[in-house]
Amino acid sequence: MGTHAELEAIVDRYSGESTALLQILREAQEIEGWLPPATLTCLARLLEMPRARVEGVAGFYSFLHIERAGRYRVLFSDNITDRMAGNSELLDRFCNSLWLERGKTSEDGLALVDTTSCTGMCDQGPAMLVNGWAIPQLTPARVDEVAELIRSHTPVEDWPAALFQIEDNIHRSDMLLDASLEPGAAIRAAATSGPLATLEAIQCSNLRGRGGAGFATGLKWQSCRNATGDMHYVVCNADEGEPGTFKDRVLLTRYADLVFEGMTVCAFVIGARKGFLYLRGEYRHLLAPLQEVLARRRSDGLLGNDICGQPGFEFDIDIHLGAGAYICGEESALIESLEGRRGIPRNRPPYPVTHGYLQQPTTVNNVETFCAAALIALRGGEWYAGIGTGKSTGTKVLSVSGDCVRPGIYEYPFGVTVRQVLEDCGAQRTQAVQISGPSGTCIDATEFERRIAFEDLPTAGAFMVFDESRDIFEVASNFVHFFAHESCGFCTPCRVGTTLLRNVIDKLHKGKGSQHDLNQIFKLSRLLQSASHCGLGHTACNPLLDTIKRFRPAYERRLESLEFEPAFDLDGALERARAMTGRDDAGAHLRTDE
């Protein structure tokens, strides 16, 4: 374990605050690459909290290891786009070259290799994370290079910088990505017109949240401003966990000032003195650059006391790094995580605007929403309302990936057709597009005249393209696995239902399915939609329902019979015995398929 002194230093850096538990665990893990039992005990003592709570939090997040995990933790991103780009073959090659078994820490404690949910590099996949650091554009040569660096025990800090080079790939920009805002301009504009007029501009712009749900931003800010509390908080949701989405990554890389500017304007309007940026763990590489931007803004008087010379306007921003949990993008789970807990969605009402961080009024918005808000503060609500469609004003930044020539970032005024986007990114013979990720909608070629807008195809930004060579069943199967892995486990329908769905899909995958299994999918889907506690469970069956409706042959091909087939695989049940005895000969198998 880390020495007591090392752990004490980490805890002290966070002033022993229990809300920092996740940050503390993340840093404590860097000492040895995992969190041994004694480390958890020591941290619990230092933080004066029950050990079981510390272990409960450590056990929740994918990137925290409470079992020995090796000096190098290598996680291959496993979104469908990574799959299509050949991540499975690369993973096998990597495991073979290091003599490793996937999911098992090597005996010598050198490395652990496994997969992880989409890491937000779909425009430059396949990608991996090594000890939390992103490496995109994997090729056999790059994978071999990584294996060699590990074999030679080279510390990750000393690896060639070229491995970690990440591209922005902006292919179409509009008013948001074209805006070159002088830092402080939007805050000064807000300060000149005052909080109420700024709020009015946001309301009159009809800006709607860009994180998926499309809630009216002005209304949210107003409710939060009017809510009573000791402190008000601003939270920027940079968890960006939806597979296929990576626009927040680019906004935070290139437009960090605009994001912080929007958060500061929000603080001015709602009367907050403290803000948080919740950055997904997969974007660890952005932490230091973002902290530099914050430091610069502090020294320029854009954060801290008397911001822009406004007496009494005080605001600062902390960055919290997540640790691998899609559910922490859900705003109330995000707040739980910010408070140092397991990321479990809260019972609502009350909503974060009245009872958010530490039960105080809190405004949570997406990265892109804050960017748009900054522009509105500067240029006015009417200007903004003139762009886009009636119900969807402004522009949308799309993350385009999959089967196209130019994957990357595309910004359009709302109302653009799917066909237009497909043309611009150089997609050909397109079979289907997954709009807004697994929790969104899968559309087929008859629907490409549909429009990206809240009134037709709402989206948080993901736009994954599948051409005619793809098996749509594989797409759905990947998404079903994603939800089973990311269910927080709080409520029964989602915890058990996503796993049962995964098992059904795997059964179909093996060609063992029957009509009974399809019926089972419908039954479970209905229950998930109606009885789940949060949006994850409500949308977890979308990929199945959408694709069964539009691509039924992809499923029927896999049905062995139209009647019942048992899920229990007699021969498969002997697998463990075979592994234990090291046998795989004919005598160690039962033949059940003749």
Partner 1 sequence: MTAEGKTASFQLDGATVPFEPGQTVIQAALAAGHYIPHLCYHPEFKPHGSCRVCTVEVDGRTVASCTLQAQDGMEVLSQSDRLRKEHQTLVQMLFVEGNHFCPSCEQSGNCRLQAVAYDLDIMSAELDHLFPNRPVDASHPEILLEFNRCILCELCVRASAEVDGKNVFALSGRGITKHLIVNAESGRLADTDIAVTDKAMEVCPVGVILRKGVGFRVPIGERRFDRQPISAQAREDAPRRPTTGNEDST
Ligand X SMILES: Cc1cc2nc3c(=O)[nH]c(=O)nc-3n(C[C@H](O)[C@H](O)[C@H](O)COP(=O)(O)O)c2cc1C
The answer to the question of residue 346 lying near ligand SF4 (CB under 6 A) is no
The answer to the question of residue 414 lying near ligand SF4 (CB under 6 A) is no
Q: Which is nearer to ligand SF4, 205 or 439 (CB)?
A: 439
- 296 by Cβ neighbours in 10 Å (0-12 / 13-18 / 19+) ranks as middle
Q: Do residues 111 and 105 make contact, with C-beta atoms less than 8 angstroms apart? A: yes
Q: How far apart are the first and last CA of the chain?
A: 54
The answer to the question of residue 503 lying near partner 1 (CB under 8 A) is yes
Single out the residue of 174, 94, 104, 169 nearest to residue 139, CA to CA.
94
Q: How far is the CB of 409 from ligand X (least distance, A)?
A: 16
The answer to the question of residue 520 lying near ligand SF4 (CB under 6 A) is no
Q: Which is nearer to partner 1, 55 or 168 (CB)?
A: 55
C-alpha dihedral, 8 to 9 to 15 to 18, nearest 10°: -50
What is the per-residue DSSP string for 246-315? -HHHHHHHH-HHHHHHHHHHHHHHHT-SEEEEEE-GGGGGGHHHHHHHHHHHHHTTSSBSSGGG-TT--B
Binding mask 553-582 for partner 1 (x = CB under 8 A): --------------xx--------------
If one counts every other C-beta atom within 10 angstroms of the C-beta of residue 53, the result is: 17
The answer to the question of residue 73 lying near ligand SF4 (CB under 6 A) is no
83: enclosing H helix or E strand: helix 80-84
- Phi and psi at residue 488, in whole multiples of 5°? -75, -20
Q: Which stretch binds partner 1 (CB under 8 A): 144-152, 180-188, 452-460, 524-532?
A: 524-532
The answer to the question of residue 229 lying near ligand SF4 (CB under 6 A) is no
C-alpha dihedral, 91 to 94 to 97 to 100, nearest 10°: -70
The answer to the question of residue 226 lying near partner 1 (CB under 8 A) is no
The answer to the question of residue 444 lying near partner 1 (CB under 8 A) is no
Q: Do residues 117 and 79 make contact, with C-beta atoms less than 8 angstroms apart? A: yes
Cβ neighbors of 403 (< 8 A, separation 6 or more) are: 84, 427, 428, 430, 465, 466, 467, 469, 470
Q: Which of 500, 518, 540, 559 binds partner 1 (CB under 8 A)?
A: 500
The answer to the question of residue 406 lying near partner 1 (CB under 8 A) is no
The answer to the question of residue 491 lying near partner 1 (CB under 8 A) is yes
Q: Which is nearer to ligand SF4, 392 or 436 (CB)?
A: 436
Single out the residue of 331, 284, 340, 332 nearest to residue 63, CA to CA.
284
Tell me the residue nearest to ligand X as measured from the CB.
209
Q: Which of 213, 489, 578, 588 binds ligand SF4 (CB under 6 A)?
A: 489
Q: Which is nearer to partner 1, 35 or 302 (CB)?
A: 35
Q: Which of 176, 327, 484, 527 binds ligand SF4 (CB under 6 A)?
A: 327
Q: Which of 72, 370, 490, 551 binds ligand SF4 (CB under 6 A)?
A: 490
Residue 257 contacts which entry, ligand X, ligand SF4, partner 1, none (Cβ below 5-8 A, type-dependent):
none
Verify cis geometry, omega within 30 degrees of 0, for the bond prior to 493.
no
Nearest-angstrom CA–CA distance, 209 and 221: 11
Nearest-angstrom CA–CA distance, 49 and 53: 7
The answer to the question of residue 58 lying near partner 1 (CB under 8 A) is yes
The answer to the question of residue 535 lying near partner 1 (CB under 8 A) is no
Residue 53 contacts which entry, ligand SF4, ligand X, partner 1, none (Cβ below 5-8 A, type-dependent):
partner 1
Q: Which residues bind ligand X (CB under 6 A)?
A: 209-213, 215, 237, 239-242, 327, 329-331, 364-366, 369, 534-536
If one counts every other C-beta atom within 10 angstroms of the C-beta of residue 235, the result is: 26
- SS3 for 501-525 is HHHHHHHHHCCCEEHHHHHHHHHHH
Contact set with ligand SF4 (CB under 6 A) = 327, 345, 487-491, 494-495, 532-534, 536-537
Contact set with partner 1 (CB under 8 A) = 37-38, 40-41, 50-53, 55-56, 58-62, 66, 325, 342, 347, 349, 484-493, 495-500, 503, 520, 523-524, 526-527, 530-533, 567-568
